[in-house]
Amino acid sequence: MQSASYIGFGGILALAMVAASSALSASTETFVNAPQPRVTAPVGSKTETAIFAGGCFWGVEGVFDHVKGVVSATSGYAGGTTTSPSYEEVSTGTTGHAEAVRVVFDPAKVSYAELLRVYFSVVADPTTLNAQGPDHGSQYRTALFPQSDGQERVARAYLQQLTASHTFTRPIVTRIEHTTRFYPAEGYHQGFLEKNPTYPYIVINDAPKVDALRRIMPNIYRS
């Protein structure tokens, strides 16, 4: 996506082109009702942290902000080698980082397994390699970053379950990656969906994800 902080007249024209080119894909976008995970992790501490990469972090953060039991969702970068990366650096696709979201949650209210179900149902298309909607590049890959052995066990089991159940018609390419390093993105990226509900990219690509969460999983949706 194009950062709101760098939009001039040319940027407005570019956004108009993005909106036009994305309209068809947005109008035909479908979401899945992923199955309930069979494997879950026991509840341990009062809060846990999970990291998800699923394309533009505006939408990923926006969806998880609407999940009951989520304490906070922070946009940032994970999975690369550059220390303290900037948005401009990550956007080149050369740092190895993915746009990612760190989710702090209360496992007594929502489990990591349930967050995975949200992720695969409405956050990201796990069958497109290094691309989500109009965004292309390794920085937009889908990846799970388990923060404990228990999370990794649950994630691997759920990927196997989704494959066996043929939830998706194409192969799942979402990767499990290992890192505990997470670099928060610049302040203007935080809460972007909530602060900019009429921004064209949000309207076309991300608001439908939040609406899908409300429709598909009303029991865990919060306004």
Per-residue pLDDT tens for 176-222?
999 999 999 999 999 999 999 999 999 999 999 999 999 999 999 99
Do residues 63 and 216 make contact, with C-beta atoms less than 8 angstroms apart? no
Intervals of the chain under pLDDT 70: 1-29
User: What is the value of pTM for the model shown?
Assistant: 0.88
- Residue bearing tokens 């965004």: 135
Domain boundaries, the chain: 4-216
What is the set of active-site residues?
56
Reference 178, options 126, 150, 143, 141; nearest CA is 143
Q: The tokens of 211 are what? A: 């609406």
Q: Give residue for tokens 């149902």.
A: 121
CATH class of 4-216: alpha beta
Phi, psi of 11 (to 5 degrees): -65, -35
Strand duo 70-78 + 135-136: pairing:
unpaired
pLDDT value, residue 41: 83
Residue 2: per-residue pLDDT: 57
How far is it, in rounded angstroms, from Cα 207 to Cα 211? 6
pLDDT at residue 73, rounded to an integer:
98
What is the percentage of the chain residues whose pLDDT exceeds 70? 87
